Chains A and B, each alone.
Chain A
Amino acid sequence: MDLPTLREPRERVSPRARLMWQLSNLLEGVVTVTVLAVVAALWDAVDLAWWMVALALLVVVAYAAVVPQWRYLVHRWEVTDTAVYTQTGWWARERRIAPMSRIQTVDYAETPVARLFGLATVTVTTASAAGALQIAGLQQARAQRLVDDLTLKADAVEGDAT
């Protein structure tokens, strides 16, 4: 290999993120299947066998069991003095690098499910609509510290970040 490769970001998200993703995936899946089943039951045109619903539920459970694990293995992040580096996704892996000098806003958000697990999401935006970096599943205290840290570092750089 005579050309460089990128290494993974150093930090993982909180292990509790797995449970959070599992719960929200399970909730979403069960709600979707239920709605579809009820619609099918009310609508005479489709005759849905019970095993079809069972199969759909099985797919949902399998998805909720496997994908969050996979996602947890992929999700990583790192903040240095000059840049933010994140890696997200599972099937499609996305690595994003943004220079500190181009950071415009730092968002902190807790969804209801995340709050249940004491987790939060930090989103770093740049002037490009295609460039937001998101770190989901951070411990709340850790996320708060990260926001403060990022705000300080981004402030230290001059320019209008476009």
Chain B
Amino acid sequence: MSAPAPPAPPGEWQRLDPRMLLVHPVREVVRFLPPLVGLFLAGAASGGQPWQFLGIVVPVVLGLFRYLTTSFRIAAGRVELKRGLLSRHVLSTPLDRVRTVDLTASPIHRVLGLTTLRIGTGTGASGDDDDLDLDGLPVARAQELRADLLRTARAEVVAGPDGVPDDPDAPPAPERPVVELDLAWLRYAPLTTSGLVVTAGILGLGGQVLGNVDLWDEVDPTSWHVGLPGWTAVLLGLVVLAVLVVAVSVVGYLVTNWGFALTRSRGSWHLRRGLVTTRETSLDEERVAGVTVGEPLGLRLAGGGRLTAIVTGLGSASGSSTLVPPAPLAVVQRVGGAVLASTAPVTVALTGHGPAATRRRYTRAVGTAVVLAAAVASVPLLLGAPWWAVAPVLVLPLAALPLAADRARGLGHALSDGHVVARSGTLARRRDHLEVDHVIGWNLRATWFQRRVGLTSLVATTAGGPQSVTVLDVPEPLAVALADATLPHVVRQFLAPASQDPPPEGVGEGRGTARLPG
């Protein structure tokens, strides 16, 4: 390790770590690999002087310039990043807009003791050029800077109306991990669809490569002799495929989540994980609007789940909001309770949505399946196939029944300890918990069918994550009561005056105190 350079005075433009002089040229060489390989092949073919080695100089020099032309500073309440040789970019953002700070270290960074600090501000723009990346800081310096950035962002928030920020010079509280990776969680890895998707991707890519080198032409299926009857071979193939999928998902889980730990210190949540490339994400606690417990069918059957955060100002696509990877539901609920500072919302029993909503689940699931089955069956029938040949499509409506039953069971909502809780779905069941303070509006949407049976879909809008939390097909009075209970100053004035019927006991004034049943 080289001696650290003395830190530049605050407010001055400063370069990134000089060790990046090693990283950038290597990276540029890798980026220029295809033309370089071509150059070398051409050079070797033509013989003569080895001029082709000059070709390497170009990316190396480019890498050096990349280091020399990049600098950053923190001054006057803004972070500024200046970069580019031919076209200059200056990125600048106010410190109080910092939502998240990520530390990412690729293998080459880790060898050199460096890390990349990425500042998330939650802008809509997401081009590579618009990211505020400080690529290449010594780990200690990056951690210091992260603490500074988050403290400033937090002070701005806290100092708002109360005017009493945290003592900035208080010693950092010792980090206490809320949860760490348990290798037993690996059993949940094959139960998500990610392994399947990655395997399909690998197989597809492999097939394409084989196709490109004309290997398929060499394969003559008629000459195959596996020495097995056809069905056994197919079965064997499926088993091999299943083993492959399981292996890929387990390896993928390990690569992503190795060393996973969630800690809380100084008003932020810190998430660390990654086997090859390590990634540390810090979420300002004030910006965590809620959590979502995801329970895809496979995970749910095995008693597992995963946890993501709804972060104000961050879209759901940014991907930095995972709090717990697939893990036992008890762990997910415990962490969810810790993040919400209350376990009640995560564990509370939900109010069901009643018979009308249940009927609607059945009509929708079975109706869709019937239409689909009819569409599938119509083609062979029109072409003159006998009716029994298309009978298997009857499986579709039958399969829809348990699906509908499960969807109906899953529906529910609650208002618990300052959080709106909503659950829906079956293949991808989710239970959202949104802090009432982060509800920035209510939408009540009802089609004519829904109005006929007195249902409405209640949508809480929020500035974070998926932008909204939907309470699906809730009876309208319950929906209004929930909206009223969360934003009383706002919704109360739009409530219908007491109807002509004499109001039941305690309701005349009591609209204000109306509670959700259950």
Q: Is the CB of B494 within 8 A of A85?
A: yes
Chain B residues within an 8 Å CB radius of A93 = 445-447, 451
Check B487 against A92 for contact (C-beta < 8 Å). no
B325 contacts across to A, CB distance below 8 A = none
Q: Is B477 an interface residue (CB 8 A)?
A: yes
Q: How far is the CB of A155 from chain B (nearest CB, A)?
A: 17
In the bound complex, do residue B477 and residue A3 qualify as a contact, i.e. CB atoms below 8 Å apart?
A: yes
- In the bound complex, residues from chain A placing their C-beta under 8 Å from that of B462 are 128
Q: Are B447 and A91 interface neighbours, CB within 8 A?
A: yes
Binding site secondary structure of chain B:
mixed
B467 is an interface residue with CB less than 8 A from chain A? yes
Task: Evaluate contact between B445 and A94: CB separation under 8 angstroms.
Answer: yes
Is B81 part of the contact surface with A, judged by Cβ < 8 Å? no
Contact of B440 among A91, A92, A102 (CB under 8 A): A102
Q: Is A158 an interface residue (CB 8 A)?
A: yes
Tell me the bound Cα distance from A136 to B21 in angstroms: 58
The CA of A99 and the CA of B491, in the complex, are separated in Å by: 9
Q: Which of B445, B448, B490 contacts A97 (CB 8 A)?
A: B490
> Is A82 close to B, CB under 8 A?
yes
B476: interface (CB < 8 Å) = yes
Known: A128-B462, A158-B161. A92 touches B480 (CB 8 A): no
Bound Cα distance A159, B157 (Å): 10
| Number of B positions contacting A (CB below 8 A) | 42
A52, chain B: closest CB distance, angstroms = 21
- Given A4-B484, A6-B480, A162-B312, CB of A129 within 8 Å of CB of B467: yes
Give the nearest-CB partner of B481 in chain A.
Answer: A3
Of the candidates A6, A91, A96, A130, the one whose C-beta lies within 8 Å of that of B496 is A6
How far, in angstroms, from A94 to B480 measured CA to CA in the complex? Answer: 13
Q: Give A contacts to B, CB under 8 Å.
A: 1-7, 9, 78, 80, 82-83, 85, 89, 91-99, 102, 126-131, 133, 158-159, 161-162
Using CB atoms and an 8 Å cutoff, list the residues of chain B in contact with chain A: 160-161, 312-313, 440-448, 451, 459, 461-463, 467-468, 476-478, 480-481, 483-484, 487, 489-491, 493-497, 499, 501, 504, 507, 511, 514
6 A-B pairs whose Cβ atoms sit less than 8 Å apart in the complex: A6-B480, A7-B494, A7-B496, A128-B440, A130-B468, A131-B441
